[in-house]
Amino acid sequence: MPTRPKYGNRPTMKDVATRAGVGLKTVSRVVNGEPGVTSATVDRVRAAIAELGFRRNDSARILRKGRTASIGLLLEDLGDPFYSALGRAVEEVARDHDSLLFTGSSAEDPEREEELALAFCARRVDGLLVIPAGTDHRYLLPEMRAGTAVVFADRPAGRVAADTVLTDNAGGARTGVAHLIAHGLRRIGFLGDRPQIHTAGERLRGYREAMAEAGLPVADRWVAMGPTEPARVAAALDAMTGGDDPVSAVFAGNNRITVGVLRRLADVPLDRRPALVGFDDLELADMVTPGVSVVAQDPARMGREAARLLFRRLDGDPTAPRTLHLDARLIPRGSGELPPRG
Amino acid sequence: MPTRPKYGNRPTMKDVATRAGVGLKTVSRVVNGEPGVTSATVDRVRAAIAELGFRRNDSARILRKGRTASIGLLLEDLGDPFYSALGRAVEEVARDHDSLLFTGSSAEDPEREEELALAFCARRVDGLLVIPAGTDHRYLLPEMRAGTAVVFADRPAGRVAADTVLTDNAGGARTGVAHLIAHGLRRIGFLGDRPQIHTAGERLRGYREAMAEAGLPVADRWVAMGPTEPARVAAALDAMTGGDDPVSAVFAGNNRITVGVLRRLADVPLDRRPALVGFDDLELADMVTPGVSVVAQDPARMGREAARLLFRRLDGDPTAPRTLHLDARLIPRGSGELPPRG
DNA sequence: CTGAAAGCGCTTACAG
DNA sequence: CTGAAAGCGCTTACAG
């Protein structure tokens, strides 16, 4: 007595073959649209398929064929608008390549990233698109050697050579800070994400470079790196806008932090607010008063380019790994053009 | 000469067995942590696994075991903040149940929904969580009979009995419109999504009910249903706020439409703007002037409840399909409390 | 044009 | 404690 698999009792090709009075291989031919079957036979098989409600088990097919026609997308947080826009773009490209998409959020936890990545590999995804949470991806080397294509996006791969798509984070921050400087602001603070996050460090670097280029000093208390929770951001903002050495402008290191700053400033009269430029765009940034000036990335483009690189590898591209740099674009809307206070 | 599968040449359990000088079944025992293997043997097998870089092929395992430990999530648009928040919650629940998540966007196209849903079924996902684009889901009946669990969210299933999680759309819209009425507004317009979308119809119904309850008339030109593109929304808004029978308040049927309305009103002086309440919350809704009053859904809760229902079915819950109704909550922020214009 | 046999990489059911 | 055989549902390689 054979065990019944747990998923009900689905008809198999064998059942269809029996019902149609043909061989198994003939059913396979019909299901896959292969030539060399009389139309009469095709009809009989099709009828049996319809009667039994047969649907080919792609898991079995995959086991035999090798390619799973699926890729895994590992991002930081599906719920973040930046990453969901990126994910949607990846999905479109996957669809163009008849591939399905596994999605998982690492929640900025390297262990969780590894766990998910290896789970995807165990499912034998053809490729992996990773927004890194960790900084050491050598755990992927055996998978890559075994043929799994891997592309990194948003942050660089750790100790592994692979295609990567990055925004020019330092350059973007430099542009944003230079914009503040051009508007007469000289005492500029930087509010960033945790320093171990690569993009946070790069943006901080861009900030320092812009300040240095303009010959402006940076006081220690003007730089605050840490979690993006509203309370932390508010406290850090208060610290650098208060005291006897207050900043008159702030560069916010990402969308979460910009939102935190905006909330904290909501009750502050316009003429007492620091100028503000944020990294990453926000949905209603142009509707707020004053409009929020930002350095915008293009998450959809990042997703699209990364996915294209991935499928190029799957198509057999043998060239050396490359890194694609995307520009960040300054969008002035008012908050970054406020005059310096007193 | 056997064909090499396309995914490189990964070591199999057989390779590990040969290397460790044990039987295949012993490797399987070690990999799965089954008892009854001497620790010496375990060590030998583990060493062979490490040397070969072996990772179990879960596709093969799945084929034998029946359950795939994966579910499919079909939503309208991964890039929409509402759905990505929902998706993230689904992901969390899936993770709690050691299940991986396939994601796909139907882009409001019933054919694409069906294509994706059936592709997921062909992969033998254990269950399907569907945000319907279409209105007839009988195509899923054979899959459901074969044991695939299906739960619908956000919109009802079409001609199929299944667990469903819905927001009380009519009630939410009624509350929002009643709020406008309570603030003295009587000429209230409704700007909705395309009428064939269930939630759009329900919200329109709630609007009409609130107006009727207050004994207020609804002119035909006060109701505009259609695509959420900014241009369409702007034109529809202009039409109902202009002419000789203009509205003094607008209820916006979803987040896309609210954004369209806000953009159109950006240049209009405050005292000449219609009052506004929108369905769905927006990230910076409280930062705009005036704050955007909304009727907010809880997408994360919707995702969580739907995913829980799904896994309850997978755990064998034999009860009849149920529908869960979630409340929508009014959040007054200013735009819905504007006084009626002259 | 059609089909029987072997095999994809695992697990199941047994036997020792 | 250990392993050989059969089987999951398909495709591949071959033979007729």
| pLDDT at residue B4, as a whole number | 35
Give the C-alpha separation, B44 to B63, whole Å.
28
Examine the domain organization and report whether B162 and B303 are in the same domain: yes
What letter represents residue A80's amino acid? D
Examine the domain organization and report whether A188 and A288 are in the same domain: yes
Q: Is the dihedral of CA B151, B157, B160, B164 positive or negative?
A: positive
CB-based contact A131:A155 (threshold 8 Å): yes
Examine the domain organization and report whether A185 and A281 are in the same domain: yes
Contacts of A63 in chain B (CB under 8 A): 57, 59-60, 63
- For residue B72, give how far its alpha carbon lies from the nearest alpha carbon of chain A (Å): 9
How does pLDDT run across A92-139, given as a tens digit for each residue?
A: 999 999 999 999 999 999 999 999 999 999 999 999 999 999 999 999
Asked if strand C contacts B36 at the CB level, meaning under 7 A, the answer is no
Examine the domain organization and report whether A186 and A149 are in the same domain: no
Examine the domain organization and report whether B216 and B279 are in the same domain: yes
Higher pLDDT, A232 or A64: A232
Kindly state the average pLDDT of the residues A270-293.
94
Does position A176 have pLDDT exceeding 70, yes or no?
yes
Domain-embedded: residue B192: yes
CATH number at residue A241: 3.40.50.2300
Give the C-alpha separation, A181 to A204, whole Å.
16
| pLDDT at residue B8, as a whole number | 57
What letter represents residue A93's amino acid? V
Tokens 């969780």, located at residue: A112
Examine the domain organization and report whether B173 and B290 are in the same domain: yes
Q: How far is CA A251 from CA A184, A223, B240, in A?
A: 14, 10, 41
Examine the domain organization and report whether A310 and A263 are in the same domain: no
Phi/psi for A221 (5° steps) reads -70, -5
CB-based contact B272:B339 (threshold 8 Å): no
How does pLDDT run across A20-43, given as a tens digit for each residue?
A: 999 999 999 999 999 888 999 999
Element holding B186 (H helix, E strand)? none
| pLDDT at residue A265, as a whole number | 95
Does position B113 have pLDDT exceeding 80, yes or no?
yes
Specify the number of domains making up chain A. Answer: 3
| pLDDT at residue A4, as a whole number | 35
Does position B2 have pLDDT exceeding 70, yes or no?
no
How does pLDDT run across A179-224, given as a tens digit for each residue?
A: 999 999 999 999 999 999 999 999 999 999 999 999 999 999 999 9
D chain positions with any atom within 7 Å of a protein CB: 1-5, 7-14
How does pLDDT run across B304-323, given as a tens digit for each residue?
A: 999 999 999 999 999 999 99
Domain-embedded: residue A239: yes
Examine the domain organization and report whether A226 and A267 are in the same domain: yes
Q: pTM value?
A: 0.93
Does position B129 have pLDDT exceeding 80, yes or no?
yes
CB–CB contact B147 A10 (8 Å): yes
Higher pLDDT, A113 or A1: A113
Q: Estimate to the nearest angstrom the gap between the alpha carbon of A287 and the chain centroid.
A: 26
Give the chain B residue nearest A261 (alpha carbons).
B287
CATH number at residue A18: 1.10.260.40
Burial tier of B50 (Cβ tally within 10 Å: 0-12, 13-18, 19+): exposed
CB–CB contact A10 B146 (8 Å): yes
- For residue B218, give how far its alpha carbon lies from the nearest alpha carbon of chain A (Å): 30
How does pLDDT run across A75-95, given as a tens digit for each residue?
A: 999 999 999 999 999 999 999
Does position B3 have pLDDT exceeding 50, yes or no?
no
What letter represents residue B152's amino acid? F
Q: Which of A60, A84, A142 sits opposite B84 (nearest CB)?
A: A84
Contacts of B142 in chain A (CB under 8 A): 53, 55
Examine the domain organization and report whether B151 and B174 are in the same domain: no
Examine the domain organization and report whether A80 and A154 are in the same domain: yes
Per-residue tokens: B300 = 């994360």
Examine the domain organization and report whether B281 and B260 are in the same domain: yes
Give the C-alpha separation, B15 to B31, whole Å.
13
Contacts of B304 in chain A (CB under 8 A): none
Print the domain residue range for B28. Answer: 13-56
Residue nearest to nucleotide D11 (CA to C1'): A64
Examine the domain organization and report whether A271 and A307 are in the same domain: no
Kindly state the average pLDDT of the residues B12-35.
93
Higher pLDDT, A4 or B270: B270
Q: Which of residues 46-65 of B touch strand C (CB under 7 A)?
A: 54, 56-57, 60-61, 63-65
Pick left, alpha or beta for residue B108 (phi over 0 → left; psi -120 to 50 → alpha; otherwise beta): left
Mean pLDDT (chain A) is 94
Per-residue tokens: A171 = 């350059």
